[in-house]
Structure 1
Amino acid sequence: NSIEKIKPHKKLTLIILKNSNIVKTIKLDNTFTPTELENGIYDFVIENNITENLIFRGIKIDNNTNKIIVISVPPVHATVKGFIKNNNQFIGGVKIDFIDVNNNSYETISTFAGDFSINLPPQKYRIVLKKPGFVIQESQNLIYDFTIPNEVYNLSLDAEELLSNIQGTIVDKKNTPIPNANISIKNGDYFIELKSDLFGNFETSILPGLLFIKVEKEGYKSFGLVTKLGRFSSISGLEISLDPILANISGTISSSFSPKKNIQLTLRNEEGEVVATSLSNEHGFYEFYDIKVNQKYFISVGTQDYKHYYSKPFLLKEEGITNKNIILQERETRLYLEFLFENKPLSKKDVIINNKIYKTDTNGFILLNLSEGTKSININIKNYNFRKIINLRDINTNPNHLTIEVR
């Protein structure tokens, strides 16, 4: 990087004077510049935008003068020294381009220890790094002023490593996407946290190297893996499958504290979809196995002999549920009995129905809630010596209204 290797400066002006009068002004854009002069004594003045003007006096021009005049301009330069590093590690083999305002480029290469040095024409420059996978740090992407001749400038350049891309999907064992899973990716001191989208997908950029990936989602076992991401490469289609955390739900089913066997129970999610079924044993015990935790469920029971049962929604946690006991209620028939005596309400009178005593209201009514399997009722009014058996199969409406004349 000696000054001899620097390209000739193109912004020089040669002023030729004779008897203190300007004869010619020439822009020295090339190494050799032809011109014609009459015989005589001349002064040459070289103007430039870097140093003071150079003056060469008393140059004799005649027919005997060599037709080639070499004017030596003293070398003028600024020296730039420094180091280039990434994360406090020095980088060798980096090409460093210094580009001036006229787009002239001067290049040097950092040594294995990361240091560099170059002599430049005093100018303002921008700096471009040329090493695959690296760019100059954005905060240093500036215009540098090296305009003072013979000055030594010291620089410490920071190179940023270009990021690589990683893309994947989080699914369960049935290959169903898992949304909003928490994903953390670590590479040395570089750490990223993100979430999977509604379709279980995730994508991010990270420094290449050895990646430690961890995925967490409520209701699932945590999952971790280690993979290598190379420079100038990407990872796509990475599928991570999570195992659900499972628990059991158990209890007993009975009617009036009497265990019921062979009753089918259905476990449903909040949307009413069937998750599992179970059949009670001879002791009324039932159990749902391997159910996903941290979700809400309810239990339904439908049987001809009992009212349909729907539990309140409940949240299943990791410890499971062992006492989800269910008591079924028998189906009932509502029957309104209206008692009349001599076409008037039989008010406030005791009436024995199926060996149970009831009392009519002021309008002569009694409301019965009968088991759905009840086939008949036996009515006895002792004070009136009245007995009657009514076959319920002859009644088709519910609630039922039956008028009874007491005679």
Structure 2
Amino acid sequence: MKATWDIFCTVVDNFGDIGVTWRLARQLAAEHDYAVRLWVDDLRAFEHLCPAIDAELDRQRQRGVEVRRWSTPWAPVEAADVVIAAFACALPHDYMESMAGRDKEPLWLNLDYLSAEDWIVGCHGLPSVKFRQVQKFFFFPGFQPGTGGLLREAGLLEQRRAFVQDPRARGDFLRGLGVDPTDGARLISLFAYENDGLASWLDALASDTRPTQLLVPEGRILVDVQRWLGTKDMAAGAREVRGSLTVQVLPFVPQEDYDRLLWSCDFNAVRGEDSFVRAQWAGRPLLWHIYRQEDDVHLDKLEAFLELYSQGLSAPAKAAFEGWWRAWNRAGDMAPSWKAVLENERELAEHAERWSLEQASRTDLATALVKLYLNWI
């Protein structure tokens, strides 16, 4: 019989949590042939990433995964062979009793947040809390050997390479989103949280000698975009021009199409965790809007990634890239750092591709989980 996997997800950041767990569930089912249940407490948010989801159903199958509504009161079910609590979410008490009642204890994992901090390597795989005799273990995604790696489907970079080498495929894809690529225009995707620093970046883009098409999926940053434009109620398909800058609002698209959007752009501004990783697989210079935490502890995570990612860059390119990220995440003036980025654009683009290939040389996260389970049994 197929091994069973239960993945539990509470939707905190709208799309980051469900984005990661949905990709993981699909990969475990499609590439490793496991029976996977994905428990989600907010099917409305899930619907944005998977339009086929029926938010009224408590149980349904999508893409080879059994999707279950995580609701209260909890309806008792038999615990799976592998239990993943995504991002330290607390499992239902009755489910933990079911884990403890199994003849063979399940492998219980806390799939933690992604970080480049040094301590991650030392903590990956360590035991966490116990419930009765069932031990939970930490599983940390990461960028370095000794971590759980990054989510990456089989053949992903080959698909990306074929796509970017086919101008017709790229053009057809963009036109399918309602985007008409202008010859010579720079394409930038913008998916971020609210940011007071956006206006200075848009000012710089609008006054540039080279035209820019800014593609903005519907989301939280759209409020700041509208404020700068002086418009209201922009929806998918809306298009505004200011100087050299064309702003276009895109609909929220399934994950595979979002990947293609990232592949199609020259620069990608992303947020949270799921889009952050996908932008790295795109092999394009990226700008990360990290999820803000109390006491600015998120800035430590930002600096840890910058230190790792910037290795191998020349001093001017390193300073430009890091200054760009710090200005964005501190809502500072984006114009000086953006100018420096453009002066080092070629090197940053080449570096982004090398980084993508380097990360792809490591075991992907789903395969690392499977290896851990096989060792467990």
Q: TM-score, normalised by structure 1?
A: 0.18
Larger % of helix: which? Answer: 2
Structure showing greater radius of gyration is 1
Q: TM-score, normalised by structure 2?
A: 0.19
The structure whose RCO (Cα within 8 Å, separation 6+) is larger is: 2
